[in-house]
Chain A
């Protein structure tokens, strides 16, 4: 089972890689669209990459409510806990 810190590190690494930004500019409170310039397609692609990397499914209703990096981490942690991974 991944720790919160491990999930956070992995999420930040993925976002930095996908959006071509420095890891240092990605923090829990960072807004993925407004602060990092992700458009709707970038955002949808990111969700697929998270799903593949963590072997989870981010349901559409949850994805629509996500705006910050912290919300991504929380969602992934919640899913990993409930599935016992």
Chain B
């Protein structure tokens, strides 16, 4: 019989906090985690807001020595993994380490550290470059350090598809377990690219909102006045486990991974295809992978970054993939509250999707006060709503034309 994959733990670091239940409560209450990123800006950026993880205290998870050797994105991932593993009640000393792995997504890696060391190189010369530079900045430091922390020897790698990284990583984890290569995979995504270079780079593309309105109101997915995304940092890490393995150790089962699908636009490196043909194909592939009809999906956690083109393209894609059902299904963009975690977003949104199933509660798309006529679906504006949520989908699309979707279901 085909193997089934379930989720047995998750942990997060987010602009709304670091505890799953607190973040979920604040999310459903419509709170925002966005603030001005520089109280006294050293440089004037077009965009002045970000979702920053102010509540994160790395020393709660690792030694002071490791806080110097690990970049912030790796610390986010490791801390979230520690919480996820604890929640799942996993004792790796009782597991075959070759049957346990780590596959996480990260779009950029240690961007801030790259520029810090580049400054040292220019100002002080090559002899003053930290020997930690390379092992710190590489995106795969995140899964590497999680594997070191638990002594795991199974599949371990990082996936880089920009903002779709976490969803692609979870698809890899799903397949590794389906194919019998592993019993447990720690997966999800992480990112910390809110550095001066990161902000300046996204600003140069005009991808970030330049609104000077109060920070909590500027991430406005699907709103007529939306003007780009809010850059954010954080991680969402999940434990994927083979069902029988989870049952044998009496693990808490938080949901089932039903299927995954991915496609590529193959036409422009950043601009989405306005028709939504290729993201629609990724949603369709996810439905087929999960053996579901379109009307069996009860809710979508949207990519919904609040860019002009992206939100319209996603709306069109959902209509293509779901037909009439698109108009009957609630969906929301939690980026309206936490901003865009780039490579970490899919991990955090997967956790939100599973909590939507658990509580039958759709978090709202906040700031959606003036709906864009081109975006005419049910985005659960402003207020959370009780919904039937047996099966949900989570969308992530990344620069590079990457479209990656994943479907979760109530475990039955």
Question: Could you tell me which A residues sit within 8 Å of B by CB distance?
Answer: 17-20, 40-42, 44-45, 48, 51-52, 57
Contact = CB atoms under 8 A, between A and B. Distances in A.
Contacts of A51: 128
Interface in B125-140: 127-128, 130-132, 135
Interface residues of B, number: 12
B62 to A, nearest CB: 10
A20 B63 contact: yes
Contact of B131 (A19, A20, A44): A44
Q: Would you call the interface of chain B mostly helix, strand, loop, or mixed?
A: helix
A47 B68 CA distance: 15
Nearest to B68: A18
Interface of B: 63-66, 68-69, 127-128, 130-132, 135
Contact of B65 (A20, A40, A52, A57): A20
B64 to A, nearest CB: 5
A18 B130 contact: no
A45 B63 contact: no
Contact of B64 (A20, A52, A57): A20
A57 to B, nearest CB: 8
Contact of A45 (B64, B66, B131): B131
A41 B131 contact: yes
B123 to A, nearest CB: 12
Contacts of A57: 127
Contacts of A44: 131
A20 B68 CA distance: 10
B130 A48 contact: yes
A39 B66 CA distance: 13
Contacts of A18: 65, 68
Given A19-B65, A44-B131, A45-B131, 12 more contacts: A17-B64, A18-B65, A18-B68, A20-B64, A20-B65, A41-B69, A41-B131, A45-B130, A45-B132, A48-B131, A51-B128, A52-B128
Which among B69, B131, B132 has the highest number of chain A CB atoms within 10 Å? B131
A48 B64 contact: no
Contact of A41 (B63, B127, B132): B132
Nearest to A37: B65
Contacts of A42: 65
Contacts of A48: 127-128, 130-131
10 contacts: A17-B64, A18-B68, A19-B65, A20-B66, A41-B131, A41-B135, A45-B130, A48-B127, A48-B131, A57-B127
A35 to B, nearest CB: 15
Contacts of B65: 18-20, 42
A57 B135 CA distance: 24
B138 to A, nearest CB: 14
A39 to B, nearest CB: 10
Nearest to A58: B127
A25 to B, nearest CB: 13
The 5 nearest A-B residue pairs measured at CB: A20-B65, A44-B131, A41-B131, A20-B64, A20-B63
Nearest to A60: B127
A19 B64 CA distance: 8
Contacts of A45: 130-132
A19 to B, nearest CB: 6
Contacts of A19: 65
Contacts of B135: 41
A19 B66 CA distance: 9
Contacts of A17: 64
Nearest to B136: A41
A44 B128 CA distance: 10
